Amino acid sequence: MNDFPSTFHAAVQRMFDVRDQVVVVTGAASGLGLAMAEIMAECGARVVLTDVNPAALEGAANRLRNAGLQAFSMELDVASAEQVDRVFERIEREHGAINTVFANAGIGTGGNLWSKEGKLESFSRDDWKKVIAINLEGVFWTMQAAARAMRPRRAGSIIVTASTAGLRAEPIVGYAYIAAKAAVVNLVRQAALDLAPFGVRVNAIAPGPFNTNIGGPGPRPAHVVEAFHRTVPLGRWAEPHEIQGLALFLASPAASFVTGGVYAIDGGALALSQCDAQDLEQDQWSE
C-alpha cells in the first residue's frame, strides 16, 4: 500500500480538529449516540455521554475511558426540561464551555402501518405522548440548553438526529415517530436562522436503517429486515460506526459554512421517489 503523502496528516488535522472540544451526546449509551461519542472522543474531544439508562451509560463510558479517551457520564432523561437544564449547567461548571451538542436520544415505540394498532384510528395515545415527549420535546429542550450555552460565546454546533422518516412517509414506523422526526427537521432550520448571526451552526442527520437497539435488542423480524433490503439501494442495514464520518464532519472546522442542512445517510433510500409499493400491500398486514 502507498504511504500517505506528507501533507495528508496536516490537512486532515486542520479540517477535523475537535481536540479538547466539550461535546455532549444525548442517548449515548447505545447505537448511534455511542458511535458519535466514540468518534469525537477518539479525535481528542472531552465527551459527556448522557442517557436515561444509568447501567448502560456507565458501561459505555467505562469502555471509552478504558481505551484512554476523555469520556464522562451523566444520567439524563431528555423528556424532563428541568433535568436537561440542570445537567447542561453542571457540564459547563465541571467541563467548561460546551462546543458541540448531539441531540440524539430517541425511541421507536408504537405500532406501524403493518399492524392493526398502528392504524390512524387506533394508534395508542400513550405511545403518541411518550414518543413526542422524547423525540420532539426532548430534542427541543436539548437545543434550548445548547443555545443558552453557545449564543453568548458566539460559537458552537448543534447536531440533531432526525430520520429519513422525517422527510417522507414510511409505513414501517409509527405515526408519532414520523411526526416527531418531521418536526425536528423544521426545528433545525428555524434554529439555524436564529443562531446564524451568532456563529452557532445547527444541522440534522437523517439516518436510514442502522443496526442499533431502537426496536429492542436482538434480531429484527425477517419481514422488517427484508423490507429494508428492498427499499435501500445499497441493499443492507448500516452499522453504527457508519454514522461517525458525518457526525465528526458536522462538529468540525470542515463544516464551518454548513448550517440549516439535513444530511441523509441512508444507503440511497431517499433517492427512491417512494417506498416500494409492496410495502403497502394489504396481505402483509397482520389483522
Ligand X SMILES: NC(=O)c1ccc[n+]([C@@H]2O[C@H](COP(=O)([O-])OP(=O)(O)OC[C@H]3O[C@@H](n4cnc5c(N)ncnc54)[C@H](O)[C@@H]3O)[C@@H](O)[C@H]2O)c1
Binding status of residue 191 toward ligand X by CB under 6 A: no
Residue 189 and residue 284 in contact, taking contact as beta carbons nearer than 8 Å = no
Q: In what order do the strands lie in the sheet with 100-103?
A: 71-75, 46-51, 22-26, 100-103, 156-161, 200-207, 262-265
Contacts of 257 (CB under 8 A, 6+ apart): none
Residue 210 and residue 239 in contact, taking contact as beta carbons nearer than 8 Å = yes
Among 51, 127, 137, 170, binds ligand X (CB under 6 A): 51
Catalytic site residue 177?
A: yes
Cβ proximity to ligand X, 15 vs 270, nearer residue: 270
Catalytic residue among 16, 140, 177, 210: 177
Among 78, 147, 182, 247, binds ligand X (CB under 6 A): 78
Number of residues that bind ligand X (CB under 6 A): 29
Cβ proximity to ligand X, 65 vs 151, nearer residue: 65
Among 39, 48, 105, 262, binds ligand X (CB under 6 A): 105
Cβ proximity to ligand X, 68 vs 216, nearer residue: 216
Among 163, 203, 244, 259, binds ligand X (CB under 6 A): 163
Closest approach of ligand X to the CB of residue 177, in Å: 7
Cβ proximity to ligand X, 80 vs 116, nearer residue: 80
Binding status of residue 170 toward ligand X by CB under 6 A: no
What DSSP assignment string belongs to 73-124? EEE--TT-HHHHHHHHHHHHHHH-S--EEEE------S--TTSGGGSGGG--
Binding status of residue 244 toward ligand X by CB under 6 A: no
Q: Which triple of cell numbers denotes residue 81?
A: 426540561
Closest approach of ligand X to the CB of residue 175, in Å: 14
Backbone dihedral angles phi then psi of residue 206, each to the nearest 5 degrees: -120, 90
Cβ proximity to ligand X, 77 vs 127, nearer residue: 77
Cβ proximity to ligand X, 15 vs 132, nearer residue: 132
| Rounded Cα–Cα distance for residues 243 and 165 (Å) | 17
Closest approach of ligand X to the CB of residue 218, in Å: 12
| Rounded Cα–Cα distance for residues 142 and 151 (Å) | 14
Selection from 143, 139, 54 nearest residue 104 by Cα: 139
Closest approach of ligand X to the CB of residue 154, in Å: 28
Among 16, 21, 31, 191, binds ligand X (CB under 6 A): 31
| Rounded Cα–Cα distance for residues 85 and 269 (Å) | 36
Among 38, 77, 127, 137, binds ligand X (CB under 6 A): 77
226 alpha-carbon distance from chain centroid: 24
Q: Which of residues 109-148 bind ligand X (CB under 6 A)?
A: 134, 138
Among 15, 42, 53, 249, binds ligand X (CB under 6 A): 53
Residue 268 and residue 234 in contact, taking contact as beta carbons nearer than 8 Å = yes
Closest approach of ligand X to the CB of residue 161, in Å: 4
At position 185, the amino acid (one-letter code) is V
For the annotated catalytic residues, the residue numbers are 177
**Which residues of this chain interact with ligand X, rule CB under 6 A?**
26-27, 29-33, 51-53, 56, 76-79, 104-107, 134, 138, 161, 163, 207, 209-210, 212-214
